[in-house]
Structure 1
């Protein structure tokens, strides 16, 4: 059975922030998996692309991640800084972050990150880094954590609440998640597409380094 956008939206509902007190996860979307092309990966479905590096780079690395995913957090802490230093900051690749929330907290975190960044990719990556560094497993009230992160970024509590009530951004995140699964075959986090080459899981820097170098030589 294919899970519809309505079903996922209901599962991840942010109405009244009630879902932020829940730690339940939803089942992955069951759909026919299809291999995407580099063009599919580079073009966002609904939301403005959050990316670092030149638009015309020969290599694009696209990360699909969920903020509450511990493997994603480990990659963010240990591997992404090395990729950024070696390839993004030197202008050799473009790095795209795509939200693939696995639970209501991850969805809310992505909504808040988008709100704080307000279209600024550098700021978005900085806020996302802060989100990844939270120990979500320890908190029974993740709403308080989101409010704290918002305050660190200059928002007061009411502004954070207003951000989290943005159903338009939330629905677009859900739409992009459905697209990533049904069109690109993404069903776990973190998953990476290096142009059309796929890497699943928290792979070490050496794996990315090898694959990126091979593509840059083409």
Structure 2
């Protein structure tokens, strides 16, 4: 799980230049996942009281969200992740397949993927993900996580990411248009801003399960304990 501090270049600056004014400042990555005290070992903590209706709304699938599973499933798992986060990649390689088999494929839960980019390469990767065909989105994100150790450490991660964009059917012109599209960047950074403000997210991956927060690359049993309690 990667920790971060972030800031806006003044409220007035945000009003003028929008979410592009974000700056990313990363702390050193912890060697192992460390959850917030209330969420360690899969324990769930209630989402903050502040936000009220906003928290209830954001805990559900929103227009423009990418959903894996039956949209009518009774349990909604919101995943906030960064495409450069090793613990997010570990979750997608380890826990997610079992979560999918036990809960998503059976119609008990759906997974909503949201962006929480920790740095510039993660933002670029998220932009490209937003530009692939919707039916290819989940697969493209999975490929980026699986190849993360390659492209995320390149001197020019954007060029590495473009290789995978081409494999996903994006032309160079499409990728250039995507990377310079202010609306796409605003969507991504707004997801991060809302996650931080409403759910007090400050590390990835973080999950909101029907309003409860689970932090870190937790094992399937930790998710099962929370999900089973939410099933009708």
Three-state SS of the structure 2 residue aligned to 1:129 is: helix
- Higher strand share goes to which structure? 2
**Residue in structure 1 matched with residue 142 of structure 2 by the alignment:** 129
Question: Cα distance, 1:181 vs. partner?
Answer: 0.7
2: CA distance between counterparts of 1:208 and 1:39?
21
1:189 is matched with which residue: 204, 210, 215?
204
Structure 1, unaligned runs of 5 or more: 13-24
1: CA distance between counterparts of 2:155 and 2:99?
33
Aligned runs of 1:1-218 on 2, under 5 Å? 3=8, 5=14, 6=17, 9-11=20-22, 25-26=24-25, 34=50, 37-44=55-62, 48-117=64-133, 120=134, 122-134=135-147, 135=149, 136-216=151-231, 218=232
Question: Cα distance, 1:156 vs. partner?
Answer: 2.7
| Alignment size in residue pairs | 196
**Aligned Cα RMSD in Å?**
2.3
The two structures have a TM-score, normalised by structure 2, of 0.76
The two structures have a TM-score, normalised by structure 1, of 0.81
Structure 2, unaligned runs of 5 or more: 1-5, 28-47
Contact 2:75 / 2:227 at 8 angstroms: preserved in 1? Answer: yes
Contact 2:75 / 2:108 at 8 angstroms: preserved in 1? Answer: yes
2: CA distance between counterparts of 1:137 and 1:110?
13
Contact 1:11 / 1:26 at 8 angstroms: preserved in 2? Answer: no
Deviations 1:46-92 (A, max 9, x none): x6010122223221111000000011011011111111111111111
Bigger Cα displacement from structure 2, 145-154 vs 1-10: 1-10
